[in-house]
Structure formats: C-alpha cells, structure tokens
Amino acid sequence: MIRFNRRNLHLIVPGVLFCLIAGLSLLSEGYFGGADNISHYFISHYAFKYPHLFLSAWGRPVYTIISAPFALFGLQTVKLLNVMLGVATAWYAWRIAVMLKIHPAWPAMIFVCFAPLYFVMMPTALTEILFSFLAVISAYFFLKEKYIVAAILFSLLPFARSEGYLLIPIFLVALLWVRQLKAIPFLATGIIFFSLAGWICFGDILCLINRFPYPVNYTHPIYHETGSLWHFFNRRNLIIGLPLEILFLAGVAGMIRDLFSRDGSIRNNARLLGILVFSPFLGYLALHSFLYWKAMGGSMGLERVMAAVLPLAAIVSLKGLCEVMKFFSFSRWVTWTLPVLVTSVVVVIPFITYKIPTLYRPRRRRSAGQRNG
C-alpha cells in the first residue's frame, strides 16, 4: 500500500488539493480581490447573450471564453474553475520539475498551491490563475519539444492578462536558443486571431490597440499616485511567504552555479530553468514594480497581480529545496524527512497570513492589495 501511494503521489496530491481548496471556496462567504470578481463574472455570464463581451479587452478574451460556460451556473462554479486551473498548474509544475531533474519533484505541487497569495487567489473569478496556467503549460510543452504547441499557447498569454505582451520576447529568445525558427511565427497566433475577430465584431482590425483598456501614453485620471519601486518586494511576506522566499534565493544561487557546471546536462537544465521559469517571473515583477513606481498603466500596486507568476517562483523554490538537501545527503533519514517538514511549514503559512475562509466583508488589512480586496 505504501509503495502504491508513493507511485501515485502525483495523482493523490492534486486530488486532495482540489478537495481542500474547493471546500474552502464553498465555505467562504466572500472572495479575495474585491469587486473585480463580480465584473469578470458578469462579463462571462452575459457573453452568450451579448457576444461582443467575448472580446472585451478588460474582461480578457481567453478568460471569458473559458469561463463563460461555468458562469452560466453562478459565481461559485467560476471560482471552482479557477481552483481546477490552479491545481492543474501545480501538476504541470511537478512535471516541469521532473523534466529538469529537480528532485524530489512532488513538493512542487504543494509549493504552488500554498504560496500564500496563490492559495487565496485560486477560489476567485480573477484572471491571474489562468495566466499562470498558460505560462506553466507553455513551458511544459517547450520542454516536451512540442515547440509549435508551446508557441501557440504562449501567444494566448496577452489575452489572459495584458502583461503577456512583455513575456512574448522572452519566449522568442527561448525558441531562438533551441533554434526552432519554424515555431516563431506561431507566437503571433493570438494576436492574429483576436485581431481578425475584432475586425469581424467591431469593424476594427486594430482593435487590440484602439481598445486597449489601460493608459500607455497618458496618465490615468484616477489611478495616478506613484508608489515605491520596492512595493512588491516589501510585500513579499503576503505574496510568497518567508519559507518559499528563502528557498527561492537558494534556488537562484543553485541555478547560477549550475550554469558553470562541467556537466552539459546540468548546464542545459539550468539554462532552461533560467529562460522558461526565472526570467518570466523576474520580468513580470520588474514590469509591475516599474508601472506602480511611475503611476503608469493605471497601476494600483495590487499584490494580487503577482499570483500570475507565483507558480514559476515556486519551481525555483523547489530548486532551492534540492540545493538545501544536498547538504544533508550524508543522512538518508534527513533527506526523507526534510521535504515533509518544509512542505508542512509551507502549508501553514497561508492560514497565518490571510483570513481563511474568506469573509464577505474582510477587515482592513496591512496592504493596499488587501484593502482593495
């Protein structure tokens, strides 16, 4: 029985995670993230009645298309969709860890789902979870050497969240690095498809530019207050939590060391981890830090936006756990118990950081993101 459980851990853990988080969602009176939950839900709910809503730039077309059937049955089913996507993201993060030879790989699923912000963001009707799913599954297919599929999936990122436009050049570099030139044109799939759809629906082939919902070359009339460049860094305890933060730093150090390894396989895995996982996370963080610092793009400094790339950070944190375990390789007992101990601590952190289940009228919290949530 024990042998069976070990062999099927990658199936048992996601099932338990889904039941736990779905149960908490059903028990929650409210939802994290504020009124945007209702806005996204209404857009999805009425999209079949008013088809132009499928192309709502603010509503995010890919999110609306996927969530619309669920929205017909109410907000709770949309929240359950996000829970399913979050758990699926965790499962693919585990697969990526296996392919990059990061062992043990199973804690990846725990690290993803119990990163504090990601945990409270899963049972919502917000778009960050779908973005994270597309980012992770694109990396998965890239590692599977299905480069065209990966490019098509990655091309949909800007239509799950607008930040995806920034990440496309990073994926372009990845394709150039592996010399998959034939896959590069497919990075334009999402732009071409939704431009043509906008042309048919609105008579505007440039709808992606003309209907872009955020200010680019002007100051937002309401959200124009500048913030600290280090805003998201200073809120890291609410976003990633101290245990995963420490492991993340260890993972970055280990990745940099592996880049200079004499073993070609180790160097290659480190490069893939850097390009597909670390760089998108760092680029996304830098973008939002800059936008809030300069009061651009209508940025409000909401911490919740970082949930979109937390699974990528979780994979780097898993690399950090692997590095820590190397110091205890002399003891088989420690190498067995350390991952269990660390994951147990990680599981507890969200319940310390946030009020779970979520209240209908949450008290004023310590951060701007929570105050608006």
> Shortest CA distance to 21 belongs to which of 361, 273, 334, 350?
350
Taken in order 113, 238, 373, 351, the sign of the CA dihedral is positive
CA–CA separation, 318 vs 242, rounded Å? 14
CA–CA separation, 55 vs 38, rounded Å? 18
Highest mean pLDDT among 41-45, 223-227, 356-360: 41-45
* Cβ contacts of 334 within 8 Å, gap of 6 or more: 325, 328
294 against 316, higher pLDDT: 316
Over residues 165-179, mean pLDDT = 95
**What is the reported pLDDT for 131?**
98
Tokens of 267: 């160097």
Is the pLDDT score of 347 beyond 80?
A: yes
Q: Tell me the domain boundaries of the chain.
A: 2-356
Confidence of residue 10 (pLDDT cuts 50, 70, 90): confident
Confidence of residue 222 (pLDDT cuts 50, 70, 90): low
CA–CA separation, 133 vs 63, rounded Å? 11
CA–CA separation, 242 vs 63, rounded Å? 31
Is the pLDDT score of 285 beyond 80?
A: yes
Over residues 178-193, mean pLDDT = 97
CA-CA distances (angstroms) from residue 325 to 7, 262, 329? 21, 21, 6
- pTM for this predicted structure: 0.92
Is the pLDDT score of 85 beyond 90?
A: yes
